[in-house]
Chains A and B, each alone.
Chain A
Amino acid sequence: MLDQVAKWARKRSPWIFHINASSCNGCDIELVASLTPRYDIERFGAVLVPSPRHADVLMVTGTVNAQTRGPLKRVYEQVPEPKHVIAIGACAATGGVFKGCYNVGQGIQDVIPVDMFIPGCPPRPEAIMYGVLKLLGEVD
């Protein structure tokens, strides 16, 4: 019974930790824009938290370069179970326009397991919100 309540609470109010892994900031500003009054992801209960230990959902942007792979993995380990990872943008999925550059990975799924990819360069705030809600089963 308590399990059911916890599951319901997580779905209704995802706590999000955002990490920028070598991003150009385009995806980050669209993510932060989804908090602002026009898009207002907070009406779905989503909240950005300051520490990975309080988070349910980890949102990652950027091409993961050699310097950020370690920190990304460490942050992932600090997020308590059950956790979800969302990769935002083309760079987080495949390396984007930088694929083949000498310091760029091939997407974050090489470092941590990913539950959802939101494509776009950068994806619109509406797309980001749709992705988060779809992951949590709010929409189908």
Chain B
Amino acid sequence: MSEILLERVGKFAAEAKAKIVPLRKGETVIEVDQANVRNFISHLVQDLSVRHLTTITGLDLGENIGIMYNFSQERETIHVRTTVPKASTAVSIVDIIPGAILYEMEVHDMFGTSFEGNPWNDRKLLLPDNWPSDLPPPLLKSSKPAEIRRRLNLEAPTKE
């Protein structure tokens, strides 16, 4: 991260008890916990004018789900990462950045994390309508494609 940006982010990071992990030139990861992530992102958007949210990436980290907000501004990419336990609820940032609405729906579909405050949280974005409710979300490491295919009737010929 550039020196100026690093200094300005550093102030808010200390306040939010966040950890700055530089990956390489132009790419940084900032780890924040759930309680402070909304505050931190508000600072990024309003005070530092880092307004472009590229996407929200979900990660299966074993016991937790990682939620990475990928921001980009000029030559800097800033990943703000937070973690929640599996099958629990995370906070939504749709009121700070309205463009986040579809990305949160995608993480909900793929990893099973609910976003509290997202108006379309109970809708499916990508998964088919006949997705069985007892099947675990597909992008978890424990989900097996062969099992999903069997449950969605994609293996056997459908001769109805």
Contacts and interface: CB of A to CB of B under 8 A. Distances in A.
| Direct contact between the two chains A and B in their complex (CB within 8 A) | yes
Interface of A: 65-67, 69, 73, 100-106, 109-111
Given A69-B158, A106-B154, A101 B128 contact: no
A102 B128 contact: no
Interface string B145-160: 1001100111111101
B153 to A, nearest CB: 8
Contacts, number: 33
Contact of B148 (A73, A102, A111): A102
Contacts of B148: 102-103
B154 A105 contact: yes
B130 interface: yes
14 contacts: A66-B130, A67-B128, A67-B129, A73-B160, A102-B145, A102-B148, A102-B149, A103-B128, A103-B154, A105-B154, A106-B154, A109-B157, A110-B156, A110-B157
Please tell me the size bucket of the interface on B. 10 to 19
A111 B128 contact: no
Contact of A65 (B128, B143, B156): B128
Given A66-B152, A100-B145, A103-B148, 8 more contacts: A65-B128, A66-B154, A73-B160, A102-B143, A103-B152, A104-B154, A106-B154, A109-B157
Nearest to B130: A66
B154 A111 contact: no
A106 B160 CA distance: 17
A100 B150 CA distance: 11
Contacts of A110: 156-158
Contact of A66 (B128, B145, B157): B128
A65 B130 CA distance: 11
